[in-house]
């Protein structure tokens, strides 16, 4: 499902992401999370799917969310605040899943922390599930989507790295993904196609995220 955004919606999103944006804190347990006085949007996906790059591109800050070519670098819940005179919002960079070069104990701890946060955080408005356009849905992706379904969580599908394939392939990839998701979910999520490098789809995604910001 795609959303149509007006010029006014896009302008609100543009101004929000031109506002003050800063890192708040990293958390490794629920009892260290920031207060719930702001709406939150979480970025989630497989390791190396482009979460940090997308956050940096949305905010026009190259080093806001540190990134690495080494999968699994993000190991905490990283909280950021963005605000201007009219709107404010927190967003969260969650650890990536599907990275095998850590112990099973550590993987389990990350998974428990992420799922506990997602299922209990009352001010979490939506989860942006990032999927690399070059990859098929994996078993881990399926498990995450099933978890969202069981919990009745609102989520949004963000396709990343669309600049890495031919434009003619993007449409067929989207059709295949939609058909695959239809068999897994009861309520179809919003769908965005993005490229952090080429800035594709960022205007619409900013407008969407701004919908959850406080007035």
CATH of the domain at 63: 3.40.50.300
Instruction: Report residue 95 CA to chain centroid gap.
Output: 11
Between residues 153 and 74, the one the model is more confident about = 153
Residue whose tokens read 């940096």: 56
pLDDT at 135 over 50: yes
Residue 1 lies in a domain: no
Name the percent of the chain lying above pLDDT 70. 93
Residue 141 lies in a domain: yes
Between residues 156 and 109, the one the model is more confident about = 156
Between residues 186 and 119, the one the model is more confident about = 119
Q: Structural domain tally of the chain? A: 1
| Pair 90, 81: CB distance under 8 Å | yes
pLDDT at 149 over 70: yes
Residue 139: Cβ within 10 Å count? 8
Residue 2 lies in a domain: no
Residue 125 lies in a domain: yes
Residue 57 lies in a domain: yes
Range of the domain at 186: 7-210
Give me the sheet containing 124-132, strands edge to edge.
Answer: 20-27, 77-83, 88-93, 40-45, 124-132, 155-160, 190-193
Q: What is the pLDDT of residue 68?
A: 44
pLDDT tens by residue, 91-104:
999 988 876 566 77
- C-alpha angle 181-129-205 in degrees, rounded to nearest 5: 105
Name the E strands within the chain.
20-27, 40-45, 77-83, 88-93, 124-132, 155-160, 190-193
Among residues 112, 84, 115, the alpha carbon closest in space to that of 21 is found at 84
Average pLDDT of the residues in 97-120? 82
Q: What is the pLDDT of residue 120?
A: 94
Single pTM value for the model: 0.91
Q: What is the pLDDT of residue 70?
A: 47
Residue 215 lies in a domain: no
Average pLDDT of the residues in 88-93? 94
Q: What is the pLDDT of residue 74?
A: 57
Residue 51 lies in a domain: yes
Q: What is the pLDDT of residue 210?
A: 96
Q: What is the pLDDT of residue 20?
A: 94
Residue 108 lies in a domain: yes
């Amino acid at each position: 499902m795609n959303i149509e955004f007006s010029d006014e919606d896009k302008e609100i999103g543009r101004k929000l992401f031109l506002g003050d944006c800063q890192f708040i804190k990293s958390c490794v347990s629920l009892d260290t999370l920031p207060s719930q006085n702001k709406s939150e949007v979480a970025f989630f996906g497989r390791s190396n799917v482009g979460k940090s790059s997308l956050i940096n591109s949305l905010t026009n800050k190259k080093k806001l969310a540190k990134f690495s070519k080494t999968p699994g670098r993000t190991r905490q819940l990283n909280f950021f605040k963005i605000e201007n005179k009219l709107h404010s919002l927190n967003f969260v960079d969650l650890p990536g899943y599907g990275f095998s070069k850590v112990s099973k104990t550590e993987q389990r701890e990350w998974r428990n922390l992420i799922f506990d946060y997602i299922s209990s955080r009352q001010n979490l408005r939506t989860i942006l599930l990032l999927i690399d356009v070059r990859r098929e849905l994996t078993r881990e992706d399926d498990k995450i989507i099933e978890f969202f379904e069981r919990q009745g969580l609102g989520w949004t599908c963000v396709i990343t790295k669309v600049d890495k394939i031919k434009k003619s392939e993007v449409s067929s990839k989207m059709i295949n993904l939609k058909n695959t998701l239809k068999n897994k979910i009861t309520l179809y999520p919003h769908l965005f196609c993005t490229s952090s490098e080429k800035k594709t789809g960022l205007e619409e995604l900013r407008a969407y995220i701004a919908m959850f910001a406080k007035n």
